[in-house]
Amino acid sequence: MASQYVPQDIEEKWQEEWEKLGIYQAHDLDEKPKYYSLVMFPYPSGDLHMGHMRVYTISDVISRQRRMLGYNVLNPMGWDAFGLPAENAAMSRKKHPEDWTTSNIKYMRDEQLKKLGTSYDWRREVTTCNKDYYHWTQWIILKFFENGLCIRKEAPVNWCPDCQTVLANEQVEDGNCWRHLETRVEQKMMSQWFLNITKYADPLLNDLDKLVGWPERVRVMQQNWIGKSEGAELVFTVDSKPNVQIPVFTTRPDTVFGVACMVLAPEHPLVKELTAPECKEAVEKYVDEASHKSELDRMSTEKSKTGVPIGTSVINPFNGDIVPIWVADYALVNYGTGAVMNVPAHDERDFEFAKKFNLPIKQVISEDGSKVESMTEAYTGPGTMVNSGQFDGLTNDEAKKKMIDWAAQNNCGKARTQFRLRDWLISRQRYWGCPIPLIHCEKCGVVPEKEANLPVVLPTEGVQITGEGGSPLKKMEDWIKTSCPKCGGAARRETDTMDTFICSSWYFLRYPDALNPKEAFANDKVNYWMPVDQYVGGVEHAILHLLYARFFTKALRDLGYVNCDEPFTNLLSQGMVTKFSPDSGRIEKMSKSRGNVVGTTDFFKKYGADSARLFTLFAAPPEQELEWNEDGAVGQYRFLGRVWRLVSDLIEVGALSENDKAPSMDSLKDRAKPVLKLVHKTIKAVTKDIQPPRYVFNTAIARLMELVNGLGDYLRDTKAVENAQNLSAEEKSLLGFACRHLLLLLAPMAPHISEELYQQLPSRKGKTGSIHTETWPTFDEALTVDDEIELVIQVNGKIVNKISARRGLDKQQAEEIALTDNKVKDKLNGSSVKKVIVVPDKLVNVVI
RNA sequence: GCCGAAGUGGUGAAAUGGCAAACACGCUACGUUCAGGGCGUAGUGCUCGCAAGGGCUUGUGGGUUCAAGUCCCACCUUCGGCACCA
């Protein structure tokens, strides 16, 4: 008997060998067709868990197979290394964020990713907190600043009291901080840096249609997030102050004749100015209360509307109605114009508001053309215009257009598109992030740092991280003090750092030219590799990261730095790995903060990396959520053990041919013929399964198991191992062929064991080169079909018999077989046959 | 409330409208001088039956079809996204 399968004996050996051989290096500008395979890079938290392992395995299998298919594959890896956990660690462990991050990276790279047997080109490793990298993050922000895409403005912002920093909208979940799900986000007015992503709202929305290689669900999520609404801006004039005009945004300009009141958001700048003296007290009280409510409070307090009138009125420009102005917190200051026209008859929310405060409800659209005395609920459907002056009788759709035209002609409105997407708030009052390369000069205002002075280095010496009192950079006077790049006078550096999502919005552009000290990326290299052919990542990034990355790509394209306008041609959005969390008592996404992680190290020690890879691939198809349960893992270990024994037994007894000649069907014994067919069938099935758009690795593995089981049966039946000395050349050739192909097909998924056994094959004697640079197997279509088939015989759709028959029977022959079958005759029992359906080579259905 | 995805054995899961449950895990029995997650063989959807054999089965209820897990309609449940967005 041959040696036992001990993964620990072979895995590290091959990992070192592969690195020495450099087989995973990508070649810039090579003539081979390029394939850019990318996986979302991790935050270096210090430990990779099974959720990570699943993504990296999937992406690695894709990369490895593409390499075997003859592509010049770029499969890089890096670290999303700025971020708050490093600061928290600094406080709790008294370790500098940089040291903490660096040692985490080292551990995760050398002990976890490399030991998983991944095929990265490590020469291109990118670490976002390294000067060499964030130099170019800053450079991009300068370019954005020069082109008006990076702006400073006063705006209501989300403030997380735990993080002591502002958050982007995308980082607020249900009114809570995405990082501290128990912490309510507060609203504050602050002057902050924004990226003008709304400028790209339309292309970001429209180009989703181009992304046919993306999962539908992700496109829908982005579409919802961008949230385009078309309608009109209508201008109402204040009754008592004819020079004050208030625009509202509405998607229903057709209902303007039914306006009952105007509603301003509590933060609306005109509230103070327009409040009548007798209402002042009540309005101030209301506004003050609203400001203390977080967004969550505003939503979660019972759905009933609140609000107070401010004692002034506006004139409806369409019919001259004078309607009161109210202030109510259901109007949001940062959507539309912060002011809403309230039409109770045709909006459910407005209806509720009007009912509560006794406002008049006037019908202006009728479902059937008739007028109604009083309405019991809002009618939001289509219909005919009523009570609307010259527009009466039109359908409301026609009226919409005509009324917008009328408003434009009369200077009281225009068509307007409104997006739910808001500008991206990027400044953070934190230390461990990329410094914003802008300088405040008393004379010149905000001045960009000179390109030649980049990077603006984040100071590492003398930083005090306490978690209190805002950014630690604020206290670093020596660092803050600088001179103005424009006038040379005294000036101060911006102390806010960037949202880390900026760093990850362009990292895929750096890999193509990761070591370039002179520019972010050379034009020819980035355009050779981009766009990414296959991106793999968790569905949890469906909005945030993917939207930002698309925005960066489009902006950089418009500035002339890249050619492609979408960064990721194909996206595999892998399902989350979940597990019961003792903290919450629920099944949740595996993550450190939820206390339900399963690390990789123990798993590798127990079963080896190959089994770990197979297990995560086998447990479920990649897009599906996977609840972690290790019980099935042993099955993969056993399977690899069977592969090992099968191949090494055959090698030991000399049952494998010493050349690569394929056996010929004709010269094989009858018992051996199906084995050759099985190999061809397996090549066909596995190839199909692990390629797009299927990517179903679980069934690919199942097919390999069937091959191994089939080979095992054959060896048992023929006693080939016991009687190896009697094997004919053709049989040896068959067994050699089968083993070689088994290993080639297994190679992308279980790279170590397949390499180890492959190199031991007798046919490899005197040859060099890794299995991972071999050519992916091809199959003979003719050998994937059987001559004998099993014909299923049905009567009225129910199976009565299964008869083995020759492939390729015509309909009449098949029909005859069915009708002469005894079981069919029994069922017929004298009744007449109405119809016979024949599915060639599959089934005959006799209908009686 | 709106949008999307999904509901199949004890478990993870397979099935271009054509044999439901491939492949595994688990379990049962047997074999192996095998100490414990070793290896091999056979069995294993549910149900009636000693058996031969029969009946039932893809969340629920309808429909289309010779034929439905798969297509259509309604509903239920779970998960995910959006949500006072005017």
Quick check: A227 CB within 7 A of strand B?
yes
Kindly report which amino acid residue has its CA closest to the C1' atom of nucleotide B14. A699
- Residues A44 and A81 sit within 8 Å (Cβ to Cβ): yes
Would the Cβ of A299 be found within 7 angstroms of any atom in strand B?
yes
Using pLDDT thresholds of 50, 70 and 90, give the confidence band for residue A1: very low
Nucleotide in closest CA–C1' contact with A232: B86
User: Is the model more confident about A165 or about A293?
Assistant: A165
A7 sits within 7 Å of strand B by its CB = no
- Segment among A72-76, A393-397, A732-736 with least mean pLDDT: A393-397
Is the pLDDT score of A248 beyond 70?
yes
Q: Which pLDDT tens digit goes with each residue over A780-802?
A: 999 999 888 888 888 888 888 88
Pairing mode, strands A788-795 and A843-847: parallel
Q: How far is CA A788 from CA A320, A569, A682, A785, in A?
A: 86, 43, 18, 9
The residue among A574 and A703 whose pLDDT is bigger is A703
Express each pLDDT in A163-202 by its tens digit.
777 777 667 776 677 777 777 777 777 888 999 999 999 9
**More confident site: A579 or A758:** A758
Which pairing describes strands A150-160 and A186-195: parallel, antiparallel, or unpaired? antiparallel
**Residue A37 near residue A69, CB atoms below 8 Å:** no
The answer to whether strand B lies under 7 Å from the CB of residue A330 is yes
Two structure tokens written together for A91: 């406080």
The pLDDT of residue A170 is 65
A106-149: pLDDT as tens digits: 999 999 999 999 999 999 999 999 999 999 999 999 999 999 99
- Is A503 or A164 the better-scoring residue by pLDDT? A503
DSSP codes of every residue in A340-393: EEE-GGG-HHHHHHHHHHT------EESSS---SS-SS---S--EE-S-GGGTT
Calpha distance A559→A788 (Å, rounded): 64
Q: Distance between CA atoms of A446 and A428, rounded to whole angstroms?
A: 18
Instruction: Output helix, strand, coil percentages for chain A, rounded to the nearest 5.
Output: 45, 20, 35
Task: Count CB neighbours of A141 within 10 A.
Answer: 25
How far is it, in rounded angstroms, from Cα A208 to Cα A552?
Answer: 15
Which nucleotide is the nearest neighbour of A705, by CA and C1'? B23
Q: What is the pLDDT of residue A394?
A: 92
How is residue A586 written in tokens? Answer: 């629920």
Residue range A485-498: mean pLDDT, rounded: 93
Strand B contact at CB of residue A229, distance < 7 A: yes
pLDDT of A589:
81
Chain B nucleotides near the protein (CB, 7 A): 3-5, 11-15, 18-20, 22-26, 37-41, 66-68, 79-86
Residues 6+ apart with CB under 8 A from A136: A506, A510, A519, A520, A521
SS (H, E, C) A451-489: HHHCCCCCCCCCCCCCCCCCCHHHHCHHHHEEECCCCCC
Q: Which nucleotide minimizes the distance between its C1' and the CA of A706?
A: B23
Task: Give me the helices (H) in A22-109, please.
Answer: 50-68, 84-93, 97-107
The predicted-structure confidence for A680-719, as pLDDT tens digits, reads as follows 999 999 999 998 888 999 999 999 999 999 999 999 999 9
- H helices of A530-627, where? 544-558, 601-607, 609-619
Residue bearing the bigger pLDDT, A647 or A831: A647
Residues 529-548 of A with CB under 7 A from strand B: 539, 542-543
What pTM value is reported for the model? Answer: 0.92
Q: Which residues are paired to A158 by β-bridges?
A: A167, A187
Strand B interface, A 609-638, C-beta < 7 A: 618-621, 624-627, 629, 631-638
Q: Is the CB of A417 under 7 A from strand B?
A: no
Q: Does A261 have pLDDT greater than 80? A: yes
**The two three-digit tokens of residue A379, written as one number:** 């009618």
Average pLDDT over residues A453-457: 94
Residue A288 has what pLDDT?
84
Protein-to-nucleotide distance from the CA of A635 to the C1' of B26, whole angstroms = 11
Which tens digits make up the pLDDT trace of A29-69? Answer: 999 999 999 999 999 998 888 889 999 999 999 999 999 99
pLDDT for the residue numbered A471: 80
pLDDT digits (tens, 9 = 90+) for A376-415: 888 888 889 999 999 999 998 899 999 999 999 999 999 9
pLDDT reported for residue A294: 54
Considering Cα of A295, then A297, then A302, then A305, what sign does the dihedral take?
Answer: negative
Average pLDDT over residues A654-678: 92
- Kindly give, in sequence order, each residue whose CB lies less than 8 Å from that of residue A848, ignoring residues fewer than 6 positions away: A795, A796, A827, A828, A831, A832, A833, A834
Cis peptide bond upstream of A203, omega within 30: no
Name residue, tokens 């009728």: A366
Question: Tens digit of pLDDT for each residue in A609-634?
Answer: 999 999 999 999 998 888 888 888 89
Q: What is the pLDDT of residues A473-483, one digit of tens each?
A: 988 999 999 99
Query: Which CA-bearing residue is nearest the C1' of B67?
Result: A797
Identify the pLDDT of residue A467.
66
- Rounded distance, CA A272 to CA A101, Å? 49
The CA–C1' separation of A213 and B63, in angstroms, is: 35
Cβ A173 to strand B below 7 Å: yes
Question: Based on the number of CB atoms within 10 Å of its own CB, is A44 exposed (0-12), middle (13-18) or buried (19 or more)?
Answer: buried
Could you tell me the distance in Å between the CA of residue A545 and the C1' of nucleotide B41?
Answer: 53
Unique residue bearing structure tokens 């000290």? A517
pLDDT recorded at residue A472: 86
Going by C-alpha positions, the residue among A92, A184, A98 that lies closest to residue A134 is A98
Instruction: Give the model's confidence band at A301: pLDDT under 50 very low, under 70 low, under 90 confident, else very high.
Output: very low
Six-digit token string for A261: 């009141």
Q: Is the shortest CB-to-strand distance from A212 to strand B under 7 Å? A: no
Helical ranges in A620-726 per DSSP H: 633-652, 673-689, 697-718
Q: Is the CB of A702 under 7 A from strand B?
A: yes
Strand B: which of residues 337-356 in chain A lie with Cβ below 7 A?
Answer: 337-341, 347, 349
Q: Is the CB of A230 under 7 A from strand B?
A: no
